């Protein structure tokens, strides 16, 4: 619950007139995609539009807001009980993580009295690991 979701910096996003987040995913230019694009139509980019709740969660994925605070925010706004908000949010964050839209900022263990340093965990949209 202390982990902090962070949006993938490679993705471009904006809010449309209705206040919904629109995420643009650009196709990676690799030999595999070039080969597949000769056989199948693969668009250069695709846009995903999030609903009101998805947009709120997306905006909270700033690398500073932890999961516990996100759950509380959803509970307050939509009058959900703790279990409902927790299960829904964790499922949604898992989906965003699997699609490589977000990663999680983790604190390193404080060994030897050292200060905890944030690091990112997870791959980016290209499938490569984020550098720490």
**Predicted local confidence at residue 105, as pLDDT:** 86
Look at residue 127 and tell me if it is in a domain. no
Query: 75 phi and psi, to 5 degrees?
Result: -60, -45
Closest alpha carbon to 74 in 95, 49, 57: 57
Domain count, the chain: 1
Look at residue 126 and tell me if it is in a domain. no
Closest alpha carbon to 15 in 56, 43, 70, 69: 56
Angle, in degrees to the nearest 10, between helices 52-60 and 67-78: 150
Banded model confidence at residue 35, pLDDT cuts 50, 70, 90: confident
Does the structure show a pLDDT above 50 at 131? no
Look at residue 29 and tell me if it is in a domain. yes
Between the two ends of the chain, the Cα-to-Cα distance in Å is: 21
pLDDT tens, residue by residue, 109-129: 445 444 444 455 555 554 545
pLDDT tens, residue by residue, 48-102: 999 999 999 999 999 999 999 999 999 999 999 999 999 999 999 999 999 999 9
Look at residue 44 and tell me if it is in a domain. yes
Q: What is the pTM of this model?
A: 0.72
Look at residue 128 and tell me if it is in a domain. no
Banded model confidence at residue 108, pLDDT cuts 50, 70, 90: low
**Predicted local confidence at residue 124, as pLDDT:** 52
Q: How far is CA 22 from the centre of its chain?
A: 13
Range of the domain at 26: 4-121
**Predicted local confidence at residue 122, as pLDDT:** 55
Q: How far is CA 34 from the centre of its chain?
A: 27
């Amino acid at each position: 619950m202390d982990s902090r979701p962070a949006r993938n910096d490679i993705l471009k996003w904006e809010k449309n007139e209705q206040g919904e987040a629109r995420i643009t995913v650009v196709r990676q230019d690799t030999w595999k995609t070039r080969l597949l694009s000769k056989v199948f139509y693969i668009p250069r980019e695709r846009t995903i539009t999030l609903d009101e709740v998805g947009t709120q969660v997306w905006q909270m994925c700033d690398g500073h807001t932890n999961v516990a605070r996100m759950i509380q925010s959803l509970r307050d706004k939509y009058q959900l009980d703790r279990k409902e908000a927790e299960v829904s949010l964790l499922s949604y964050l898992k989906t965003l993580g699997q699609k490589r839209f977000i990663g999680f900022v983790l604190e390193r263990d404080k060994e030897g009295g050292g200060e905890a340093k944030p690091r990112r965990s997870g791959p980016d949209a290209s499938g490569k690991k984020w550098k720490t």
